[in-house]
Amino acid sequence: MGEIEGTAGEEEVIRVRIPQRKDGELLATVEKMLGGRRVIVQCEDGVERMARIPGRLKRKQWINVGDTVIIVPWEFQNEKADLIHKYTRPQAEWLRRKGYLK
């Protein structure tokens, strides 16, 4: 769930939350902000979905175009989803290096 990196003699611990596939979680990239706590995301399975930003994330973190996030598609409408986690830049870079992101 993390990695230790060596940078100029310093060790930095990066903790990264991996999507739980058994729970239906997918990695996605924010493509467009729609307003009203809604965004368009491009998912790793190739589907573009509309995702809702919950109030707990809206108040604590800003979501911007280009951010890497975890979403959970709705069971009854596959083209919509709930956004449940936002990655920081170092975490997204770690995911790219490890092959989780393209």
**Distance between CA atoms of 94 and 18, rounded to whole angstroms?**
11
Residue type, 2: G
Task: Confirm whether 11 is domain-assigned.
Answer: no
**CATH code at position 28:** 2.40.50.140
Task: Confirm whether 4 is domain-assigned.
Answer: no
Task: Confirm whether 13 is domain-assigned.
Answer: no
What range does the domain containing 44 cover? 19-97
Predicted confidence at residue 77, as pLDDT, reads 86
Predicted confidence at residue 91, as pLDDT, reads 87
Predicted confidence at residue 41, as pLDDT, reads 93
Residue type, 59: R
Q: What is the mean pLDDT of the chain?
A: 82
Task: Confirm whether 102 is domain-assigned.
Answer: no
Predicted confidence at residue 39, as pLDDT, reads 92
Report the number of distinct structural domains present in the chain: 1
At residue 3, does pLDDT exceed 60? no
Helix/strand/coil for 16: coil
Predicted confidence at residue 28, as pLDDT, reads 92
